[in-house]
Amino acid sequence: MLEDSIKKVGYAAEYLALTAAILALWFFLDVHGDLNPVIMPSPSKVADTLGSLIGKGALWGDLLISVGRVLKGYLIAASLGIVLGILIGLSKHLERFTNLLVQLIKPIPPIAWIPLVILWFGIGESGKIFLIFLGGFFTILINVIDGIRQADPKLIEVSASMETPLLKHIFLMVIPSAAPSIFTGLRTGLSSCWMCVVAAELVSSSTGLGYLIMNARQFGRTDVVLIGMLTIGIIGKIMDSLLKVAEKSVIRWN
Amino acid sequence: MKITEIQSAKASEARQNDSYISVKNLSKYFERKGESLHVLDNISFQVKKGETVCIVGASGCGKSTLLRAIAGLDANHDGIVTVDGADVTNPAKERGMVFQEHRLFPWLTVEQNIGYALNGVSKEERRRLVHEHVKLVGLRGFEKVYPRQLSGGMAQRAGIARALVNNPSVLLLDEPFGALDTFTKISMQKELKNIQKQSHTTMILVTHDIDEAVFLADRIFVLSARPGKIKRIVPVTLPEPRDRNSYEFLEIRKTIYDEFFAEGQDLEVPKGKRKKPRISVG
């Protein structure tokens, strides 16, 4: 028992060590006066600014708006990605039919879409959500297709040998077997969506964490830039952890 | 109906029962890289209803291919396979299949795996059948367990229960105990025998274990090396329960053994593979 808890403490230390070391380096440089506040503000300055931003409710508002945008784009990307991925994964014809287009669009970074998105959607919300959707969709789609393709042919044969009806075969055999891949797609897709929210908020916006960062840059407020960046990092990590929990509760058999 | 008609009907039923499973002129070629591999060569046999047949052969002789043809998993062959008078072209739930690997779905529990085979039955009927078959293979208490948590023998029991839950008229087993240790294997063989006694299922079991074949079979088909042909059919009329160490058992065992290793022909080590004896100089 004791050994177990010692081990756990060791693992926790390992988990935190690298991040803690970088923070320590930051404090150390600050104490030695090596930090130029425009390039890298001191930890205390960042903490003060964080306090006042939270106090004014400014950070909270931008955060909620960005989370809302990410969730909207992500939910559309996830639902379309899963449904289309399953259909394409099940049908060789559909895969041949869609493959070239998917392969052509996939490598285009969402930022490159910005001019077109402004022309198509204007500068409203829908354009931003479309960009976030693009960021997550292809990652999810391709993971789902792969997952379904990689189903064990031996298990497929078992299902076929029992005269299993098609829908039962899809829901009880194909989808569960692809579940780990689907979750990988959902998790990488979510982080892609977070990457796109900043790009999306570059498209003339006056709200959101991306706006907060770009606006602060113009005023040389590196401390606010850092806070915006760290907030995205932390929220992204929390959402990923939530997905991990969901994955564990769905994939109980492993 | 006249008496003669009844008699002829009975006679035809008897014929039907004598050739419940019938394989006629079955040949199979595999195409690989433009080369044609001859796997099964003109195989014909019949299996009676309720009979247990073991197909014995060295690895690569096509015995699994033969079983897959009977299961309908592979219809791409020459010749005709019929079960109960009907041509076999597709897999069907009347023919349960057990594979060497348990092939349980990892995401379903034991009872869900067994129940997966059932289609179009009511909830209560499903529960009853699953429960009955869990009991039959001795897995009570493990209904809610995932395959990952089962030992090899238990997983294979679940696989057998799944193959039996539709009450198939034919049970096809492809080296079902090949991956198990000797002790588990022997107890599983006994249980399979008991199950067969209760269900009267016609069984074809493919194996490379001669003891297993002599213990289980009413008849043993010895398959030759590729292309696979039926070299010999050995009837086993030993009384039940069969004693693996009885003289008669060992005699049949030797008969089959000699089919494979006649006059030491296969016992010689090929020259390339012969190892030089290592002499250590102390």
- Confidence band (pLDDT; 50, 70, 90) for B280? very low
Instruction: Give the containing element (helix H, strand E) for B196.
Output: helix B182-199
From A75-84, B31-40, B43-52, the region with the lowest mean pLDDT: B31-40
Instruction: Give the containing element (helix H, strand E) for A2.
Output: helix A2-31
Chain A residue whose CA is closest to B71: A161
Over residues A149-172, the pLDDT tens digits come to: 999 999 998 998 888 899 999 999
Question: What is the predicted pLDDT for the residue at B3?
Answer: 60
d(CA B178, CA B185): 8
Question: What is the predicted pLDDT for the residue at A139?
Answer: 92
Which of A157, A164, A177 lies at the smallest CB-CB distance from B73?
Answer: A157
Question: What is the predicted pLDDT for the residue at B12?
Answer: 63
Is the separation of the CB atoms in B238 and B73 below 8 Å?
Answer: no
Decide if B148 and A253 are in contact by the 8 Å CB cutoff: yes
d(CA A37, CA A247): 43
| A173/B contact by beta carbon, under 8 A | yes
Decide if B73 and A253 are in contact by the 8 Å CB cutoff: no
Over residues B176-185, the pLDDT tens digits come to: 988 888 888 8
Q: Is the pLDDT of residue B5 over 70?
A: no
In this prediction, the answer to ipTM > 0.85 reads no
How does the average pLDDT of chain B come out, rounded? 84
d(CA B8, CA A35): 105
Q: What is the mean pLDDT of residues A204-209?
A: 83
d(CA B271, CA B274): 5
Decide if B92 and A163 are in contact by the 8 Å CB cutoff: yes
Q: B 65-84 residues with CB below 8 A of A? A: 71-73
Q: Is the pLDDT of residue B29 over 50?
A: yes
pTM of the full structure: 0.80
Over residues A9-60, the pLDDT tens digits come to: 999 999 999 999 999 999 998 888 777 877 888 888 889 999 988 888 888 8
Q: Which residues contact B173 (CB under 8 A, 6 or more apart)?
A: B67, B97, B98, B192, B203, B204, B205, B206
- Confidence band (pLDDT; 50, 70, 90) for B7? low
Instruction: Count CA within 13 A, CB hemisphere, residue B138.
Output: 11
Instruction: Give the containing element (helix H, strand E) for B24.
Output: strand B21-32
Position A206: which residue type? S
Q: Which residues sit opposite B171 in a β-bridge? A: B96, B203
Q: Is the pLDDT of residue B113 over 90?
A: yes
Q: B 177-206 residues with CB below 8 A of A? A: none
Q: Is the pLDDT of residue B235 over 50?
A: yes
Question: What is the predicted pLDDT for the residue at B6?
Answer: 61
Q: Is the pLDDT of residue B264 over 50?
A: no
| B29/A contact by beta carbon, under 8 A | no
Minimum distance, in Å, between the CA of residue A248 and any CA atom of chain B: 12
- Going across the sheet that includes B35-47, the strands are B35-47, B21-32, B78-83, B86-87
Q: What is the mean pLDDT of residues B103-110?
A: 94
Question: What is the predicted pLDDT for the residue at A155?
Answer: 93
- Going across the sheet that includes B95-98, the strands are B95-98, B170-174, B202-207, B52-56, B219-223, B230-235
d(CA A133, CA A127): 10
Q: Which residues contact B39 (CB under 8 A, 6 or more apart)?
A: B28, B29, B30, B62, B65, B226, B227, B228
Cis bond before residue A180 (omega within 30° of 0): no
Question: What is the predicted pLDDT for the residue at A64?
Answer: 92
% of chain B residues with pLDDT over 90: 29
Q: How far is CA B240 from CA B51, B177, B244, in A?
A: 15, 21, 11
Question: What is the predicted pLDDT for the residue at B15?
Answer: 60
% of chain B residues with pLDDT over 70: 87
d(CA A116, CA A108): 13
Q: What is the mean pLDDT of residues B246-273?
A: 71
Q: How far is CA B148 from CA A249, B103, B144, B178, in A?
A: 16, 11, 12, 19
d(CA B71, CA B68): 5
From A143-157, B201-215, B234-248, the region with the lowest mean pLDDT: B234-248
Question: What is the predicted pLDDT for the residue at B272?
Answer: 47
| B116/A contact by beta carbon, under 8 A | yes
Minimum distance, in Å, between the CA of residue A72 and any CA atom of chain B: 31
Q: What is the mean pLDDT of residues A107-112?
A: 87
Q: What is the token pair recorded at A116? A: 């077109």
How does the average pLDDT of chain A come out, rounded? 90
Q: Is the pLDDT of residue B276 over 70?
A: no
d(CA A117, CA B255): 81
Helix/strand/coil for B205: strand
| B145/A contact by beta carbon, under 8 A | no
> B132-136 long-range contacts, Cβ below 8 Å, gap at least 24?
B133/B161, B133/B162, B133/B164, B133/B165, B134/B110, B134/B161, B136/B161, B136/B164, B136/B195, B136/B198
